[in-house]
Amino acid sequence: MMAFVEKKLPADAPVIDKALNWVDSRFPLTKLWNDQWGQYYAPKNFNFWYIFGSLALLTLVIQIVTGIFLVMHYKPDANLAFSSVEYIMREVPWGWLVRYMHSTGASAFFIIIYLHMAKALMYGGYRKPRELVWLFGFTIFLCLMAEAFFGYLLPWGQMSYWGAQVIVNLFGAIPLIGPDLSLWIRGDYVVSDATLNRFFSFHVIAIPLVLLGLVVAHLIALHEVGSNNPDGIEIKENLDANGHPVDGVPSHPYYTFHDIFGVTIFLVLFTAVVFFAPEMGGYFLEANNFIPADSLKTPLHIAPTWYFTPFYSILRATTSEFLYVVQAAIIGYVCLVYLKSKLPALVKNAIAAIGLVMIVGMMPFGLDAKFWGVVLFGSSVMILAGMPWLDHSLVKSIRYRPDWHKTVFIVFAIAFVTLGYLGVEPPSPIRERISQVCAVIYFSFFLLMPWWSGMGTFKPVPKRVTFTPH
């Protein structure tokens, strides 16, 4: 058992130093600061793509703080929820500002997360040894989707009500357990007061606790293996006499001020939206959500919030005709796995068996297109978790990949954004066809990655990071 030791300071030492010494002797505050930021060496060639991690943490704080103030006046009751939101907006001092900060913060959070994930895709931030960092980040993404979905019902407006009705009903497409699962999620046969109360509980208590734990785990895992960089070089492999990376700099003060600059730009844009365009043309706050929920009046066009729409478009694009395309794609993919993959025979056979089951299930006598739409919807999200094992590129960073790889990334990004846009638009035959094409591109990017990511002539990766002082 270690003896208690308190560092002796001069009698004329500043009060702040004495207070900090008193805390450090009882709690490793300074050690935590140094390990996680102050003396944590990060690559010196970070660019602007590396500010989104800090911005995500800032946005999480904004959401928690504004959420606490909203809960003080919100009533999780089907008869009072909408009027309580109106009360916050009209009667509570600065309530309109807090509500708009929270609603804008939700969209800002997903913009930042999508850009953060795009950075990882470009620079290989999911590659060895950062697989666990990526998986923690992916789980955070899932929690954010659940948190946003549960919170979307709380204003109890028309779009909130009917959006929740549509999404929950999707679970009813699951064979055998679907109807009971939908009933269990709703807590009633329709979206009602019971649904509102359980969604409120998950949004305010359960998911935020899980989210905070995952964020801590994500940061600890990141700082254990070290940060990636635009060159994809492991700076820990080249240390100086003091054991510090020669291509690294302490996060404080260098990246403290780097991130403060990014935070300043973000807050300017964030406040501009909050004060001048909080609804963002109906993308952040829909007009129908300013109308009280009415179970007898269905909106003409029901769509989830924009940050769900890339995946929702894939769901909506899955028609009975599109299933023939999916069947053909499965047959082609299984043949490709058998002919070109180096996977063990057992794994190949398992993939073939799964493909056969899916093909049979898509036959006219099998499961309907609605079920397969839900399957593709879920798969389009879950496939992101497999990135560390799908990418077989010889290098991490896009800087040293063949130039045509960049074209592949650009086409994927265009398809993803197009899916997002089409998801908020009313359905039409031409939009349906475009969504189907983009859905094929989306899945092809990931499922064919084990082959295309290793093709082409790669550029030599330098031994040291490339860095220009600025």
Residues 461, 231, 245, CA angle at the centre, nearest 5°?
100
Closest by CA to 105, choosing from 161, 66, 48, is 66
133 φψ region: left (φ > 0), alpha (ψ -120 to 50), beta (else):
alpha
Whole-number Å distance between alpha carbons of 410 and 390: 18
With b for 16 or more beta-carbon neighbours within 10 A and e for fewer, the 413-447 pattern comes to eebbebbbbbbbeeeeeebbebbbebbbbbbbbbb
Whole-number Å distance between alpha carbons of 204 and 198: 10
- In degrees rounded to 5, what are phi and psi of residue 208? -60, -35
With b for 16 or more beta-carbon neighbours within 10 A and e for fewer, the 201-213 pattern comes to ebbbeebbebbee
**Is residue 223 marked as binding?**
yes
User: Which residues are CB-contacts of 6 (< 8 A; sequence separation ≥ 6)?
Assistant: 21, 22, 25
Strand, coil or helix: 50: helix
Q: CB-hemisphere CA count at 13 Å for 126?
A: 23
Fill in the amino acid letter for 123: Y
Give the DSSP letter of residue 295.
Answer: T
| Cβ-based neighbour number of residue 228 at 10 Å | 27
Closest by CA to 232, choosing from 395, 388, 115, is 395
Whole-number Å distance between alpha carbons of 354 and 457: 34
CA distance to 21, 31, 57, 221, per residue, from 38 (Å): 17, 9, 17, 17
Residues 140, 143, 148, CA angle at the centre, nearest 5°?
125
**Is residue 392 marked as binding?**
no
User: Which residues are CB-contacts of 63 (< 8 A; sequence separation ≥ 6)?
Assistant: 102, 105, 106, 109
Closest by CA to 228, choosing from 119, 101, 309, 340, is 119
**Is residue 470 marked as binding?**
no
Whole-number Å distance between alpha carbons of 211 and 192: 27
Annotated binding residues for a ubiquinone, as ranges? 223
Query: Annotated binding site, which residues?
Result: 102, 116, 203, 218, 223
User: Which residues are part of a known binding site for heme b?
Assistant: 102, 116, 203, 218
